[in-house]
A and B are shown apart, each in its own frame.
Chain A
Amino acid sequence: MSMLETKALTREFGGIIAVNRVDFNVERNMITGLIGPNGAGKTTLFNNITGLDVPSSGKVFFEGRDITGLPSNKVCRLGIARTFQNIRLFKDLSVIDNVMMGRHFHTGSLRNRTLQAVLSYFQVEKEECEEYEAAMKWLEFFGLENLRNDSAGSLPYGYQRELEIARALATEPKLLFLDEPAAGMNPQETDSLMETIRRIRDLGVTVVLIEHDMKLVMSICDNITVLNYGQKIAQGTPSVIQSDPAVIEAYLGTDDDEEDF
Chain B
Amino acid sequence: MLNFFLLILIYTCIYAFMSLGQNLITGYTGMLSLCAAGFFAIGSYTTAILMTKFAWSWWSTVPVAILLSALLGVLIGLPTLRLKGDYLAIATLGFAEIVRNVINNWDALTNGPMGIQRIPMISFFGLKVSPYSKYGFLLLEVVLLAICWFLLERLVKSRMGRALEAIREDEIAAASVGVNVTKYKVVSFAIGAGVSGIAGCLQAGFVLSVSPGSYVFMVSIMVLCTVVLGGMGNFLAVMLGAFIIQFISYLPQLIGLSSVIPAQAKQIIFGLILVIMMIYRPQGILGRKKRDNSRAQAFYDQANGDTRNAGRKDIGLEESGAKCEEEGRV
Contact = CB atoms under 8 A, between A and B. Distances in A.
Contacts of B229: none
A82 B173 CA distance: 9
Interface in B167-189: 169-170, 172-181, 183-184, 187
A132 B297 contact: yes
A236 interface: no
Interface stretch (B59-67, B202-210, B285-293): B285-293
B175 A129 contact: no
B166 to A, nearest CB: 5
Contacts of A52: 172, 175-176
A132 B300 contact: yes
Contact of A93 (B154, B169, B178): B169
Contact of B178 (A76, A100, A127): A76
Contacts of A71: 175
A121 B108 CA distance: 46
A136 interface: yes
A77 B176 CA distance: 9
Contacts of A88: 170, 172-173, 176
Contacts of B297: 96, 132, 148-149
Contact of B295 (A90, A125, A148): A125
Interface stretch (B13-21, B124-132, B156-164, B273-281): B156-164
Interface centre among B163, B184, B296 (most CB of A within 10 A): B296
A94 B187 CA distance: 24
Interface residues of B, number: 41
A89 B177 CA distance: 11
Contact of B160 (A114, A125, A168): A114
Contacts of B181: 73
Q: Is the interface of A mostly helix, strand, loop or mixed?
A: helix
A117 B158 contact: yes
B56 interface: no
B165 interface: yes
A73 B178 contact: yes
A132 B169 contact: no
Contacts of A132: 293, 296-297, 299-300
B265 interface: no
Contacts of A81: 176-177
A161 to B, nearest CB: 14
Nearest to A78: B178
Identify the 5 closest CB pairs spanning chains A and B, nearest first: A117-B158, A132-B296, A105-B178, A90-B169, A88-B173
Given A118-B155, A119-B154, A146-B330, 4 more contacts: A89-B173, A93-B169, A113-B160, A117-B161
Interface of B: 151, 154-155, 157-163, 165-166, 169-170, 172-181, 183-184, 187, 288, 290-291, 293, 295-297, 299-300, 303-304, 328-330
23 contacts: A73-B176, A73-B179, A82-B176, A84-B173, A92-B288, A93-B162, A93-B166, A94-B290, A97-B293, A101-B163, A110-B183, A110-B187, A113-B160, A117-B158, A117-B159, A117-B160, A117-B161, A118-B158, A124-B154, A136-B300, A146-B330, A149-B293, A170-B177
